[in-house]
Structure 1
């Protein structure tokens, strides 16, 4: 039973090994709303959120404080390759390679924060993070070459899409989210948050992935644009 569970965890964390597929079909299409809740979150723990607003092509969520265990930034030209490298570190972490020698339950999503390079053939910076289960968040286990991110409450503009994440299309999905937000108060808030050096200023966008590589239908991925609104 334990061996089967470990295999499931590894297969989940290595979902980007299936990258390279170009079958990125947006779930959100003209005349339809985004999916409100990733189905995989009915099976494993995900961070809770409140939907603030939904429109064609995007959704605005509010997340409370969350804790993530993150890799150091990885320099690469490929999001898929960088995330593959990072996933081995995260898998070892949840299997007990941490200072507490503690095994940790699988959660979703696994996220990749993307800071693109200035040129088309230059390396970008990718930070890959695992959502720490709520029971571990008061005292998350430290680990070598990983660091803990404690996120303050924040808003996130979200675009969902299906299929397997690939390098050839992820930029198009991020651009589509920005396009759908044009002319809205949310776009202004995102820009202000970046200019002020607040939430979302450390990356261009974040890619969230929820599914095992063995799930070929009903896959849900997301582009995130985090931001803050002054109360």
Structure 2
């Protein structure tokens, strides 16, 4: 349990660090389909891979519950994620209505609603996957709300390294390019119609002590009939 608490604390310290040093190689897209090693140690949402494409895969996630922050307006993905994770970390450490400690899970996801201009603030919502043992009756938390996902399809692109602000837009654009012209692209466009700049999600799995084989993901959620 001490090691598990160290993982939670180290994850927090990474997100709260004022520096965003990207000193490790591996920010190029990795081979698609890598199972995040973190999910061998902590609980992650379950999914099935329904298609593997060139630089992307399509997953079907089972129904799940997520605890989410209110939208955070910021020009920086890193700063907004740090702010949101601080709230979620307090929540799982017992600062909730039940004063109940909750196990750390993965990934921590940040939904990005891009701004219309280069110097405008984007909107970010940070979410924590609620463990199965808490999903039936998760405690409420100040400034947080519960999101229920039904069965959800997700287009996924993987990349390595420590996530920097400049990475997220580039990786999202690469995912859009990978799925363009495939059987999935129409469903993705339909699901995101009216978004303006298309929303996407950044999923982060690793402890900062893991310098190699880091797995991050860009997600595009969509409906599939």
Could you say if the C-alpha distance between residues 203 and 66 of structure 1 is closer, same or farther in structure 2, counting changes exceeding 3 Å? farther
State the match for 2:222 in structure 1: 227
- Conserved? CA contact 2:92–2:100, under 8 Å: yes
CA distance in 2, matches of 1:150, 1:222: 21
CA distance in 2, matches of 1:128, 1:48: 19
Question: SS where residue 185 of structure 1 aligns?
Answer: coil
CA distance in 2, matches of 1:144, 1:86: 12
1:49 to 43, 47, 50: 47
Cα displacement (A) at 1:10: 2.0
State the match for 1:94 in structure 2: 92
- Conserved? CA contact 2:65–2:130, under 8 Å: yes
State the match for 1:27 in structure 2: 30
- Conserved? CA contact 1:14–1:84, under 8 Å: no
Unaligned runs of 5+ in 2: none
State the match for 1:31 in structure 2: none
Question: SS where residue 49 of structure 2 aligns?
Answer: strand
CA distance in 1, matches of 2:146, 2:57: 27
Unaligned runs of 5+ in 1: 29-33
Could you say if the C-alpha distance between residues 115 and 14 of structure 1 is closer, same or farther in structure 2, counting changes exceeding 3 Å? farther
CA distance in 2, matches of 1:14, 1:224: 25
Question: SS where residue 126 of structure 2 aligns?
Answer: strand
State the match for 1:128 in structure 2: 126
Give RMSD over aligned pairs.
1.9
Q: TM-score, normalised by structure 1?
A: 0.90
State the match for 2:8 in structure 1: 9
Can you list the C-alpha shifts for 1:54-74, whole angstroms capped at 9, x where unaligned? 012000000011100011100
Cα displacement (A) at 1:8: 2.3
Could you say if the C-alpha distance between residues 138 and 113 of structure 1 is closer, same or farther in structure 2, counting changes exceeding 3 Å? same
Cα displacement (A) at 1:20: 4.2
Q: TM-score, normalised by structure 2?
A: 0.92
CA distance in 2, matches of 1:14, 1:186: 38
Question: SS where residue 45 of structure 1 aligns?
Answer: coil
